[in-house]
Structures are given as C-alpha cells and as structure tokens.
Amino acid sequence: MMLGWPRLRIMLIAAVAFAAVHIGDSPTPFQVWFARNLTVAMFSTIAYGVFERWPLVLPRRLDRSVLQIAGVMVAGCIGAAFVYALPAGGDLITVLKDEGHRYGCISLMFTTIVVGPPIAFAAIMRRREMIAREQAMRYEVERADFQRQVADTRLALLQAQVQPHFLFNTLANIRALVNAGSPRAVQVMDSLIAYLRCSVPQLQQTEGTIGQELDLVKAYLELMHMRMPDRLSYSVDCDADALGLRCPPMVLLTLVENAVRHGIDPGEEGGRIDVAVRVEGERCIASVTDTGVGLKQSGTAGSGLATLRERMKLAFGDAQLRLSSIEPHGTRAVLEYLPQRSAT
C-alpha cells in the first residue's frame, strides 16, 4: 500500500525526530515543526509509492530505485515549499523574504535531500528483500508440491508393480489337483478366493493399515499352507495398538512372499514363518522370520524388496528395512518406520 501502516510509522518517527531537532534553535512551537515535517514526509512517501508502480515500463538504463530516490527528494522540496506557502495564500516569495521562514524552508529542503535518499534506499532494499523472500517461499511451496506429485506418481507406479507372483503357479496347481481328482482342489480354490478378496481391493489403494495387511498375509499363508501342508507352518502375532497404524498395501505381504519364495520353497524340508508386529514408542516394528535355507543358500533376497524400500521411503522417509541371518538357518526381515494412525 502507498500509505500503509509501516510507511506511516516511519513518517511519524521522522516527523517527531526532525521537529525535536528544530525546536532547539527556533521559537516556532514543536507542534508546528511536527506538522511541517509530517507534511514533507507525506509528500516524499507519496512520491515513493507513485514511482514504485509508475511508469510500468522504464527506459532500459533507468533503474526504478533511482527514479524513486529522485522523486523523494523533489517531492520533499515541493512539500517544504508548500507548508510555508500555504499560510500566506500561496505567496511563497513573500514568505521567503522573512529570514526565519527562509531558514526554516531551506532547512526542511536540506533535510529532505540529505536524509530522504538513505531512508528511501533502505525501504527499497527492504522491499526487495521481502519480495525475494516471498518468491523463495512461493518457490519452496511449488517445489514441495511438485515433489509430492512426483512422489505420488512414483508410488502409484511402484504400487502397480506389486502383483501376486504366485497367482499363476497357484492356478496351475489347482488345475493339476483337478486333473488328478484330488479333493484338495476345492480347498485350495477357496483359499485363493479368500486371498483375492483381500488383495484385489488393495491394488487400487495407496494407503492401508497394519490390520488390513495382516488379513492379507493370513490369507496368503493359508493358501501357501494348502499348497504345501507338510512343508510350511506359520504364525501371525500383532499388538492391538498396531492394527490401526498406516501401512502401504502389500508391504508385509512382500516380506512374507519373499520368505516363501527364497526361504521355504528352495529347501527340501520347508520351514516355518513367523510374522510379528510391535509398537515401540512411536515406531512400528514388523518382522518376518523364516527357518528356510537362509540368505547364503538362497543367493538373493528378491527384487521385490528393492521396490518395498522405495515405497516405504516415499511414504515415510525414515523407514528402515534390515535383513539378517538366523541360526542354524533362516532369515529375519525387520521393517521399522514412524507411522501415523489411519483416519479410518
């Protein structure tokens, strides 16, 4: 604003200060000097505000700050002449014939010329700093919004890559059971249907809860148990406080599926998978432990874990996924992150 409160405050301070300086060597009352200085300051401030916006386009070699400073000095001198000519009906020449009035007018003009430019320059620098700060803040907001959009896009792409890799193998297994006339075919089909009821809706979601993940994990493990009843046993345990915590869909399933594919399947004797979710302080710690062949014999932890790390990093930033071997054989995967309780 041309005469906003910050500028009015500077005008008042300057008027009081210069009026106090003049009353020591002049019989003119303080309030008169204050009115004169305030009028001069107002002329200069209006000129500063006018040239801040006008003209819209300046000559190439003319900086707007130079125009504003020059405007402050000229307008201040005009204001000084105005305050002395006004009581005399505009006859400035007659007023200036009086030595005291002439001294006062010249003093006001001199003060404007000497003090006005530094004040104007300081105001210009402050204004530029504020504009630069606003632009920086706007840039940060836009950059954060862009990064969020990029993260959402990457998360959506990664989410699309999470597919139940075992699906076709399970269907092939069901077909083999049907061809063999095995009564287990119906049980495996029922387990597959239960799994799909849990998993398919989550493929379209970017957020879920630990409780939903565990429902999916249980359906998956039950299906795997139906496929190899003599080679797989499992347990699922979770703190009640963890059920409502946020967890991207298919995260725990990826850990469990990795344990089956790279731990249990390669071993002749199979093994056991234990899933546990705990809340420690504000952090959620989920572990998947298998008694399979272990990291050394499997040779790979599965490419799905790289995708899982990326998804958790995008969703929570500080998530950690650690793999370790257990004795005498097996692997433990521990996922630790700082979640937020789901709104649902």
- The per-residue pLDDT for 195 is 77
Q: Enter the DSSP assignment of 263.
A: I
- The per-residue pLDDT for 206 is 63
In-domain check, residue 344: no
- The per-residue pLDDT for 331 is 92
The burial of 145, by beta-carbon neighbours within 10 Å (0-12 exposed, 13-18 middle, 19 or more buried), is given as: exposed
Q: Let me know whether 263 and 148 are in one domain.
A: no
Q: Are strands 271-280 and 232-238 parallel, antiparallel or unpaired?
A: parallel
Q: Let me know whether 171 and 299 are in one domain.
A: yes
Rounded percentage of the chain residues whose pLDDT exceeds 90: 19
Q: How far is CA 146 from the centre of its chain?
A: 10
Torsion of CA 48, 49, 52, 54, to 10 degrees: -110
Q: Find out whether the peptide bond into 328 is cis, omega within 30 degrees of 0.
A: yes
Domains of the chain: total: 2
**200-246 residue pLDDT tens:** 666 566 678 999 999 989 988 988 888 788 899 999 999 999 999 98
In-domain check, residue 273: yes
Q: Let me know whether 215 and 250 are in one domain.
A: yes
Q: Let me know whether 247 and 111 are in one domain.
A: no
Distance in angstroms (rounded) separating the CA atoms of residues 271 and 168? 23
In-domain check, residue 272: yes
Q: Let me know whether 70 and 9 are in one domain.
A: yes
In-domain check, residue 69: yes
48 pLDDT more than 80: yes
Name the more confident of 234 and 175. Answer: 234
- The per-residue pLDDT for 176 is 83
Q: Let me know whether 185 and 279 are in one domain.
A: yes
- The per-residue pLDDT for 35 is 87
Average pLDDT over residues 141-164: 63
In-domain check, residue 343: no
**70-115 residue pLDDT tens:** 999 999 999 989 988 887 777 777 777 887 788 888 888 888 888 8
Q: Mean pLDDT of all residues in the chain?
A: 82
Which positions ≥6 away from 140 have C-beta within 8 Å?
A: none
Q: Let me know whether 148 and 182 are in one domain.
A: no
Yes or no: say if 291 and 285 are a contact pair by the CB < 8 Å rule: no
- The per-residue pLDDT for 251 is 86
Q: Let me know whether 150 and 293 are in one domain.
A: no
Rounded percentage of the chain residues whose pLDDT exceeds 70: 85
In-domain check, residue 65: yes
**283-325 residue pLDDT tens:** 999 999 999 888 766 555 555 677 788 778 878 888 899 999 9
In-domain check, residue 80: yes
Distance in angstroms (rounded) separating the CA atoms of residues 251 and 206? 11
Report the candidate in 22, 68, 20 with the shortest Cα–Cα distance to residue 45. Answer: 68
Residue at which a domain ends, from 121, 156, 191: 156
Q: Let me know whether 174 and 320 are in one domain.
A: yes
In-domain check, residue 342: no
Q: Let me know whether 43 and 73 are in one domain.
A: yes
Residue at which a domain ends, from 156, 172, 202: 156
- Strands of 283-290's sheet in order across: 232-238, 271-280, 283-290, 331-337, 320-325
Name the more confident of 164 and 214. Answer: 214
**Mean pLDDT comparison of 117-121, 190-194, 204-208, highest-scoring range:** 117-121
Report the candidate in 280, 282, 207, 210 with the shortest Cα–Cα distance to residue 244. Answer: 210
Name the more confident of 48 and 160. Answer: 48
Assigned token pair, 50? 């006018």
Assigned token pair, 273? 């998978």
Yes or no: say if 159 and 203 are a contact pair by the CB < 8 Å rule: yes
Which positions ≥6 away from 116 have C-beta within 8 Å?
A: 44, 69, 72, 73, 76
Residue at which a domain ends, from 109, 130, 156: 156
- The per-residue pLDDT for 162 is 47
Q: Let me know whether 117 and 175 are in one domain.
A: no
User: Tell me, what CATH number does 286's domain have?
Assistant: 3.30.565.10
Q: Could you list the residue range(s) of the whole structural domain that residue 109 is in?
A: 5-156
Q: Let me know whether 327 and 280 are in one domain.
A: yes
